[in-house]
Structure formats: structure tokens, C-alpha cells
Amino acid sequence: MLACIKVLLLIVGLSFANLVVCNELVLVVHKNNPTDALSRSQLIDLYMGKYVAFPDGARAVPVDIEEDLETREKFYELLVGMPLARVNAYWSKVKFSGRARPPTQQKDEKAILDFVMQTENAIAYVHQNSVTDEVKVVYRFTQ
Amino acid sequence: MCQIVPKYFKVIYVMSKCLFLILLVSVSLSNFVRAEADFRVSGFGTIGVVTTDSKDFGYRADFSKTGGVFENDIDFAEGSNLGVQFDIIASEEIDFVVQAVYRDQKELNLDTTINLAFVRYAPNPNWSFRIGRTAYDLFLLTEYRDIGYAYSWAHVPSEIYGVIPHRYLDGVDVTFNKPIGDITFAAKLFYGENEFPLTAYGSSSAGLFRLDDTIGLALDFHSMDWEVAINRTRLKFDSQVAEPLIEALVQMDALVPNFSAIWPNSMAFATDIDLDNRNGIYTSVSGQYRFDSVTVISELSKISSESLGVPGVESGYLSGIYHYNAHNFFTSLAFSDSEEFKLEGINLAALEQVPFGLEAYEGAELLLNYFTINQKTFSLGWRWDFDPNMSFKLQLDHTRIDKGGSTFWQPPAKDYTTLKRTGHVNALFANVSFLY
């Protein structure tokens, strides 16, 4: 009986862990993009408008999610450790001083994936469980 | 002295005029833009109130402002603004940016409202070239001083930014960006000219102060946690403000016998006080470091010039910001130390007998002290980000003014003989800043 409970708990635990991994945020690019992996510092440059290019020097088009504020907040918290208000404060000085443009926006994950599939130099964050064969994962926050 | 009602109506009246202007610009732009271009509209604003406890020193946001906020005044004009920006992305390489800002300008027209209007060509991610009206990258915060949401404080430090009201530069710039390991390096070279209203001593008018041949270099090194910036700009003052005084001194020297005994070295002084075509050099070194829950930011700046009319000024600030969820608590210490030049050895009794002699002396004193800011400010404040695009800020400043450096503050009356040169002021700021 005890052994059964242990096995059950193990199964539940593994399923939960699998669920967490499935819901983690990952960064994806077009499947033909030559970039295979990015560092966190390169991602910060891309998403904070400091150097908006892939490691091979090709121009990048970062994408933000428009309607899902919770996902956007989670992404920036993981990326730069700042709440969305401070990220917006940062972008307000970059954007309204005319230095750089903020990431382009797509309304939800489906629109984001469609955009990345059609745009060779796009990069976007989506949940692991939304990833399709048409895009390539270049960064995981758990790595 | 309480001016709540007229100022409130003035703000609404001018804001509606400004919105109309912005609407006109946006309609013209949208017609101009090709159908396939990406057209984005966004903006920012601050609704701010300020009050002080002084009868002698009237607060103003910067040297372009004719008003002053004294004891018992509740003022909305000094700390409020509204801006709108149009981004037209024609292609990956080319975009246009137009930004209009209402900030209680003395004169409201298209030229004074347009803050940015440039076209950018970025052939690759490393290089970009801009031509048109760009933000003035003189010191750390000059590019975004009107974007209240961008910084934690309720206002930028007056010690550095009060004396420089200029917002934009009409000219060209080139920027180079390159990541070097975990550090990103950016260098910008810019050239152009600009003008902005300037006033002091309680005058109700503000004349344009023009800066020509402005050439500057801005270097920036940043990583995930820290940033260091160095700015250096050389420019030429284009101002005839000292001409009447110089002419008067030349006439007196020619016509009054033995004038050099009454005003020793008057001709050398006349040459040194002249501003026109004289060089000024503006330098700033700044840095910030971001710990887990604390950000430390500091800037040191220096102004030097070839004219006594713009004295050398050294200024700076050190600020610490503690971040706790949506709340940010901050404290700052800012200082400004101007060079003093005193008129010495002048025989005032004899000068009084010379026609317009005393007027020339008073004019010289006023010009010498025009940009003199000697003060220290201690600030405490709180910023609450109650929405991802809106924040409330509260800030208390205690300022001590010494060594005759009170020109930043407006006097209660336009009477130069009663100007108070030293003292202290407490000022309270509250505002809501937002993005849209």
C-alpha cells in the first residue's frame, strides 16, 4: 500500500514538473534563422534596444505580447529582474528621446507565432507548450 | 499670490490648443505616409503641483520660465506637460520621428512645440544617422528631462538642469553601437544649433538664447547592472545681450576724462563680458549601478566659457533609490558651485557723476550674476507605480542658497536693488506622470 502511494506521488510530482516546464517561457526565432542559441546578455541588448541584432550581425525584430500583460511582466522579470512599470520607465526614456524603437507588438501567442513564422529576423517569447516545428528555440530561462 | 484658478484655466486652454496642433500634425503625417509603412502614435505627460515656503525665492522649473512659485502658491504650470510622438517606420533602415510637447511655453507655435522631428537612416545595427531636430544630448538627462515617467524623482535636479533650458538641437548626428562581451558601447557625434528662451530677475519676458556650432561627443558604456556615460560639447554663444553695456563702457572711456581711474580696466572688462561668438564647453560624467533592490545614480558636470557672462559652474548630484515592489523611495543630494567675479576698485561716488555710469555698473552686476547658481539641495521622495503606465510621485526639497547664487529663483518683484542673494527654501512637489 505504501509503495503504491509512493509511486502515485512520484507520478503526480513528475506530471507537475512536466507542467511547469511546459509553461516556461522560451525565446523563439524563425526556423531558418542561423542563430542556434543566445546568451541572456544578448537578449537584454535585443529587448532593451541596446543592440538589436543577432550574433552574426543581422538586424533583429523583437516582439512583445500585447494583450497578455501577465506573460509580458513575467518575461521582463525573468530577463532584467524589473517589474513592468520600471521596464516601461526605461523604454519611455529610450523611445521618447528618439534613441530607439521599442519591440513590435502582436496581440497574443498565436499572432506572435504567425509573425515569427513569416519573419526571418523576428524573435519572440512564448510558452514552451506553444512551440511548433516552424520555429526554433534559442533560449530557455531554466538553462 | 494664489494663482490656482487662472493657471488652471490657462493650462486647459493651452493644452486644448496644443491638442489641436497635434491633431493637425498627425493628419498631415498620416496623409504623407505610404499605406504600407508602420505608423505608431504614443505619448507621455505629467500633471504636477508645486508649492514652497518662501516669500523671497520663487521656484521655477528652469531658466526659460518667467513665473515663480512662492509661499502659499499652488502652481500647476511649472511641473506639468503633455507630449505626443509619431513614429513612421518606412522600412528597416529608415524611420521618421515627430514629437510635440506642451510645457507651458511662453510662446506657443509649431517651432516651440515640436521637440523632435528627424529622419533616421540605420543601414545596419551598428550605425545610425539622423538629420533634423533631435533631443539635446548635453548631459545625462537632457534628452528626456520632460518625460517624467522615465525617472524616479518628481523633477530633474535644478542644480545641473535649471541653467540649461535648451531641449533640442537642429542638426545631424551619427551613432555607433557595438557589444563587447557583456558590455555594450555606444558613441554619438552630433553637430547643430539651437535656441531657447532665457530669463531671470523676475522679468516677464524671455529672450532667445542662441547656441551655434554645437559639436558634441557622447560616450556610453553599459552592462546588465551598470552604466557609465561621458558627454562633452563645445558651442558658440550667439547673443548680443551684453552689447549695450559694452557700447556704454566704450563711450564713457572715450568721452569721460580719466575714466580708467574711475573704472579701472573697463575696456578689458568690456571685452571679457561679451558673449557673442565666445566658446562654451559643457562636460558631464555620470554613472549608475543597480543592486537587487537599490539603484545608485550620480552625475558631475562642468561648464566653462570664454566669457564672464557665463561663469564656470561645477555641479552634481548623488541619488539612492530603494525599490520595493511598486514603490520606490529615494533621497538625493545636489550641489551647484559657480565662479564668482566681483567688480572691484570702482569709484562709485565718481561714477555716479558720469551720465549712465551707475546704470552701466548695475547692468554689469546683473550680467555677471545672470547664470550664478550656488546652492545645495537635499531631497526625499516616494514614487508609486500604481499602474504599469502611471506613477504618483511626492518629493520634498530643502535648498540652501549661498555665495550670491540665487538667480535660478525668481524674486518677488522686479526690483534689482531688493534682490535677496542667500537663504533657504523648502519646496513640495506632487505629480502623476503617465504614458499612453
DSSP-assigned letters across all residues of chain A = -HHHHHHHHHHHHHHHHHHHHHTSEEEEEETT-S-----HHHHHHHHTTS--B-TTS-B-EEEEESS-HHHHHHHHHHHHS--HHHHHHHHHHHHHTTS-PPPEEESSHHHHHHHHHH-TTEEEEEEGGG--TTEEEEEETT-
In chain B, which residues have their Cβ closer than 8 Å to the Cβ of A52?
125
Q: Which of A52, A80, A88 is opposite residue B125, by nearest beta carbon?
A: A52
**B149 CB within 8 Å of a chain A CB:** yes
C-alpha cell at B318: 548623488
- Tell me whether A88 touches chain B (CB under 8 Å): yes
At A142, give phi and psi (nearest 5°): -85, -5
Using the Cβ of A96 and the Cβ atoms of chain B, whether some distance falls under 8 Å is answered with yes
Please tell me whether residue B80 adopts helix, strand or coil conformation: coil
Q: Where are the beta strands (DSSP E) in B181-251?
A: 183-198, 207-222, 226-238
Nearest C-alpha of chain B: how many angstroms from A109?
21
A68 touches chain B (CB under 8 A): no
Chain A residues closer than 8 Å to B231 by CB: none
Q: Does B323 touch chain A (CB under 8 A)?
A: yes
* Cα B334 from chain centre: 15
Q: How close B143 comes to chain A (CA, Å)?
A: 5
User: Across the interface, which of B92, B323, B388 has its CB nearest the CB of A88?
Assistant: B388
Residue whose entry in the numeric block shows the C-alpha cell 515617467: B149
Under DSSP, the state recorded for B143 is G
- Helix B243-255 to helix B357-369 angle, to the nearest 10 degrees? 140
> Of B97, B125, B385, which is closest to A98 when you measure between CB atoms?
B97
Q: Give me the residue from B143, B325, B389 closest to A88, CB to CB.
A: B389
Please check whether residue B326 touches A, CB under 8 A: yes
- Torsion (CA) B17, B20, B25, B29 in degrees, nearest 10: 170
**Does A88 sit within 8 Å of B149, measured CB to CB?**
yes
Question: For residue A93, what is the nearest residue in chain B, using CA coordinates?
Answer: B150
CA distance A131 to A134: 8
Cα–Cα distance, B398 to B333 (Å, whole number) = 10
Mean pLDDT per 10-residue section of chain B, whose length is 436 residues: 44 48 53 65 97 96 94 96 96 95 91 96 96 96 96 97 94 95 94 94 89 97 92 96 93 92 93 95 97 96 95 96 97 94 89 92 90 95 97 98 90 80 95 98
Q: Do B104 and B47 meet the contact criterion of CB atoms below 8 Å apart?
A: no
As a whole number of angstroms, the distance between CA B25 and CA B401 comes to: 43
pLDDT beyond 80 at A112 = yes
> Is A77 an 8 Å CB contact of chain B?
no
Cell numbers at A102, concatenated? 521599442
A44 and chain B: CB distance < 8 Å anywhere? yes
Rounded to an integer, what distance in angstroms lies between the CA atom of residue B168 and that of residue B188?
15
Residues B242, B273 contacting (CB under 8 angstroms): yes
Q: Is the pLDDT of residue A18 over 80?
A: no
Starting at the earlier edge strand, list the strands of the sheet with A122-127: A104-106, A61-65, A122-127, A25-30, A135-140
CB pairs below 8 Å between A and B: how many?
Answer: 95
Are B372 and B338 contacting, i.e. CB atoms less than 8 angstroms apart?
yes
CB atoms within 10 A of CB B320: 15
**What is residue B5's DSSP assignment?**
H
Taking CA B166 as the corner, what is the angle to CA B170 and CA B80, rounded to the nearest 5 degrees? 120
Looking up cell 543581422 gives A58
Closest Cα in chain B to A84: B388
How far apart are the C-alpha atoms of B48 and B357, rounded to whole Å?
45
Phi/psi region, residue A85 (left: phi>0; alpha: psi -120 to 50; beta: rest), is alpha
Taking 50 as the threshold, does the pLDDT of residue A133 lie above it? yes
Contact A83 B326 (CB under 8 A): yes
- Do the beta carbons of residue B239 and residue B275 sit within 8 Å? yes
Strand partners of residue B432: B47, B392
Q: What are phi and psi for residue B34, nearest 5 degrees?
A: -65, 155
Phi, psi values for residue B376, rounded to 5°:
-130, 140
Q: Which amino acid is at A61?
A: V
DSSP B258: T
Beta-carbon separation of A51 and B182 below 8 A: no
User: For residue A72, what is the nearest residue in chain B, using CA coordinates?
Assistant: B388
Q: Residue A19's pLDDT band (boundaries 50, 70, 90)?
A: very low
Say whether pLDDT at A1 is over 80: no
Are residues B144 and B44 in contact, defined by beta-carbon separation less than 8 angstroms? no
Q: What type of residue sits at position B137?
A: D
Which chain B residues in 346-365 lie under 8 Å from chain A, judged by CB atoms?
A: none
The backbone torsions φ and ψ at residue B243, rounded to the nearest 5 degrees and listed phi first, read -60, -45
Q: What is the β-pairing status of strands B127-135 and B183-198? A: unpaired
pLDDT confidence of residue B205: 86
Whether A81 and chain B come into contact, CB under 8 Å, resolves to yes
Establish if A67 touches chain B: CB-CB under 8 angstroms.
no
Strands A61-65 and A104-106, sheet pairing: parallel
Closest CA to B58 of B67, B69, B72, B71: B69
Task: Give residue B350's pLDDT.
Answer: 93
So what's the pLDDT on residue B7? 47
Q: Is the ipTM of this complex over 0.85?
A: yes
* Partner B contacted by A35 (CB < 8 A): no
Best residue in A35, A79, A82, A96 for a mutation probing chain B (most B CBs within 10 Å): A96
Q: Is some CB atom of chain A closer than 8 A to the CB atom of B90?
A: no
- Grouping H, G, I as helix, E, B as strand and the rest as coil, residue B41 is strand
Q: What is the pLDDT of residue A3?
A: 60
Contact of B307 with B275, CB cutoff 8 Å:
yes
Neighbouring-strand partners of residue A25: A127
Strands A25-30 and B390-406: unpaired
